[in-house]
């Protein structure tokens, strides 16, 4: 087993590492630290969150600082304020025995004047979010043309948050004689673009397969009707008395609604979303870190940068639009040697998406039955009994009251006393879950109940999405327009960022493919594994990768010429009530 002592770290850093209780390096640290210390070659490191990436780049950078040079020697970019502060705090811990090592955090939502004052103290390392870093560069307060190290931490998250232009500008302002270190959990095409544009023959190291989920995380899903999703969430929470989890929702509105409902139903929960002020966000996060909250309901954007190592669960109340976001969500549990569970609450028509996720993370997502009321009551009962059994009694505090308590309860025998203790603890659960229904659902049963049991659907891929401002009514209108019929039954629609999926009555499959053949948008049949079926004109690559190509011109926009991007005469919208005309 490799040790930190074998990595030729200096005594001051080893002493700090020992103080922090680090016994041996993680897999990413064991590979990255020697490489950064011994070579000036650029580095791409692929590893999940919670694998010790900060120490992987932080320790070797700290060792190579020159305390006699009063200028910024390393710039570290990260996506969020929380992660920026966490990295800065970690670097300060690693460097506490080093002379003249000064780390400064710069981020939005804070007083820029104080950060400018901090820069005047000549820090050797600046950790910043891209937006605030670029702001300080434009003001002439932060000079990075002579830095020795540039680190892009959670690079994929920064791009997902729209920092592409800022990252490009920052990298262009750095000098040629630097070592660029890119750390990421996933490797989408946009990251590849950065590596080709700004890195010179980088060495790539990877812990596990690309996008592979952590070995310390189990993956489960519960199949329910969409209307029963919230009831299933409550049962999951009730079945796990010691749950400490993030519940991911798709929108701010849903996040607020779910958190409010949980609070009203007596759960220890709160919400984290983009409408909160920074002070409100800090308050919620501080309560969550101290475990004063058990359930934090959050959107993907709001949860970025949360650094909590002891989460027991991550719950996907809704699946993310981007499948790679699931990798980031699940990576927030099972960290720092802890075990965790990633849960998906799926409705009956998301089975295909779960299969796609299994291929992406290279792990099985196990279907679990939603706990019944009886199972929850039994689980909570025995958990409470264990708690009573393990309670430490302070005789000095309780003794003055024992005489009164004994006299008050002396008429009850042992069995009667135990029954009343249980009843006091569990009457609420017993009453709530009395005669509750089975929430577990099957696709066949749901389709039958909705009148769709005899209809066969084909799943189609279409090469437009949110980026082209596509919405479900527009997509239906487009299908009607191109096929010149309104008789096609449309099933599930999934609109993602750069592409979408829709289900349509299988008997119209040939008509849909033929009608879109000469259109600018691309429509093809998608098989259950989530890949487009191969034909003479299709490429073999994954649709996830293909649809994230760089500089792809939007296809779903209207032109000033009076025609839309399909080359068709403009009409009153893409869907809704409009008259069909001959083409």
Average pLDDT over residues 138-144: 94
Element of type H or E holding 27: helix 27-38
Q: What is the pLDDT of residue 348?
A: 74
Closest residue by Cα to residue 455 from 349, 533, 529: 349
Integer CA distances (angstroms), 203 to 45, 168, 210, 375, 568, in order? 8, 21, 15, 52, 49
pLDDT digits (tens, 9 = 90+) for 354-373: 988 998 888 899 999 999 88
CB atoms within 10 A of CB 437: 9
Contacts of residue 532, defined as CB under 8 A and 6 or more positions apart, other chains included, come to: 461, 524, 525, 526, 538, 543
Amino acid 412: pLDDT: 87
Q: What is the pLDDT of residues 387-401, one digit of tens each?
A: 777 888 888 888 888
* Cβ-based neighbour number of residue 321 at 10 Å: 15
Mean of the pLDDT values across residues 295-305?
81
Task: Give the pLDDT confidence score for residue 232 in this predicted structure.
Answer: 94
What is the reported pLDDT for 67? 81
Reported as a pLDDT band with limits 50, 70 and 90, residue 213 is low
DSSP state of 506: G
For the chain, what is the total number of helices (H) and then of strands (E)? 22, 18
- Average pLDDT of the chain? 82
pTM: 0.58
> Per residue in 80-111, pLDDT tens?
888 898 899 999 999 999 987 899 999 988 88
- Summarize pLDDT for 450-492 with one digit per residue, the tens: 444 445 888 899 999 888 888 888 898 899 889 988 888 888 8
For the chain, list the domains and their CATH numbers.
Answer: 5-206 (3.40.50.300), 217-372 (3.40.50.300), 375-432 (no CATH), 455-546 (3.30.70.330)
- For residue 551, is pLDDT > 60? no
The span from the CA of 87 to the CA of 25, in Å, is 18
Contact 148, 40 (CB under 8 A): no
> How much is the pLDDT for 573?
37
The listed range with the strongest mean pLDDT (85-94, 497-506, 537-546, 547-556) is 85-94
Give dist(CA 206, CA 535) in Å, integer: 33
Confidence band (pLDDT; 50, 70, 90) for 345? very high
Q: Give start and end residues of each alpha helix (H) in 267-372.
A: 278-289, 300-303, 323-330, 351-361
How many CB atoms are closer than 10 A to CB 510? 10
């Amino acid at each position: 087993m490799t040790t930190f002592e074998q990595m030729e770290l200096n005594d001051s850093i080893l002493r700090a590492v020992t103080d922090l209780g680090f016994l041996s390096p993680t897999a990413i640290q064991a590979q990255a630290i020697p490489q950064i210390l011994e070579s000036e070659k650029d580095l791409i490191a692929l590893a999940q969150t919670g694998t010790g990436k900060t120490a992987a780049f932080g320790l070797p950078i700290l060792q190579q600082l020159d305390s006699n040079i009063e200028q910024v020697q390393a710039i570290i970019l990260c996506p969020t304020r929380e992660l920026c502060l966490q990295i800065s705090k970690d670097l300060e811990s690693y460097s506490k025995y080093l002379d003249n090592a000064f780390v400064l955090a710069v981020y939005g939502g804070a007083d820029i004047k104080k950060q400018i004052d901090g820069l005047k103290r000549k820090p050797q390392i600046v950790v910043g979010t891209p937006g605030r870093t670029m702001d300080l560069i434009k003001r002439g307060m932060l000079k990075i043309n002579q830095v020795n190290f540039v680190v892009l931490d959670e690079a994929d998250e920064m791009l997902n948050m729209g920092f592409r232009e800022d990252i490009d500008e920052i990298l262009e302002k750095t000098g040629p004689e630097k070592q660029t270190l890119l750390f990421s959990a996933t490797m989408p095409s946009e990251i590849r673009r950065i590596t080709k544009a700004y890195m010179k023959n980088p060495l790539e190291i990877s812990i596990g397969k690309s996008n592979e989920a952590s070995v310390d995380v189990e993956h489960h899903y519960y199949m329910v009707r969409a209307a029963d999703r919230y009831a299933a969430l409550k049962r999951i929470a009730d079945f796990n008395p010691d749950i400490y989890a993030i519940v991911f929702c798709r929108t701010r509105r849903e996040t607020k609604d779910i958190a409010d409902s949980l609070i009203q139903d007596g759960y220890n929960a709160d919400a984290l979303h983009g409408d909160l002020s920074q002070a409100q966000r800090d308050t919620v996060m501080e309560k969550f870190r101290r475990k004063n909250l058990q359930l934090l309901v959050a959107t993907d954007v709001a949860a970025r940068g949360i650094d909590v190592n002891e989460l027991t669960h991550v719950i996907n109340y809704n699946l993310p639009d981007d499948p790679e976001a699931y990798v980031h969500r699940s990576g927030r549990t099972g960290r720092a040697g802890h075990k965790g569970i990633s849960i998906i609450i799926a409705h009956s028509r998301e089975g295909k998406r779960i299969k796609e996720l299994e291929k992406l993370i290279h792990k099985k997502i196990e279907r679990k039955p939603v706990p019944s009321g009886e199972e929850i009551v039994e689980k909570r009962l025995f958990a409470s009994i264990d708690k009573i059994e393990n309670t430490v009694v302070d005789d000095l505090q309780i003794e003055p009251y024992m005489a009164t308590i004994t006299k008050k309860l002396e008429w009850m025998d042992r069995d009667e006393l135990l029954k009343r203790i249980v009843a006091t603890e569990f009457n609420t659960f017993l009453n709530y879950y009395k005669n509750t229904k089975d929430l577990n659902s099957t696709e066949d049963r749901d389709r039958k109940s909705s009148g769709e049991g005899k209809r066969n659907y084909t799943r189609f891929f279409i090469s437009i999405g949110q980026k082209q401002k596509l919405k479900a009514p527009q997509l239906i209108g487009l299908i009607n327009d191109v096929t010149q019929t309104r008789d096609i039954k449309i099933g599930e629609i999934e609109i993602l960022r750069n592409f979408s999926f829709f289900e349509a009555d299988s008997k119209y499959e040939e008509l849909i493919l033929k009608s879109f053949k000469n259109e600018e948008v691309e429509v093809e049949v998608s098989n259950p594994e989530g890949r487009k079926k191969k034909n003479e004109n299709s490429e073999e690559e994954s649709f996830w990768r293909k649809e994230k190509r760089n500089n792809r011109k939007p296809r779903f926009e209207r032109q000033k010429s009076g025609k839309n991007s399909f080359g068709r005469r403009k009409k009153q919208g893409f869907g809704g009530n409009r008259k069909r005309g001959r083409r």
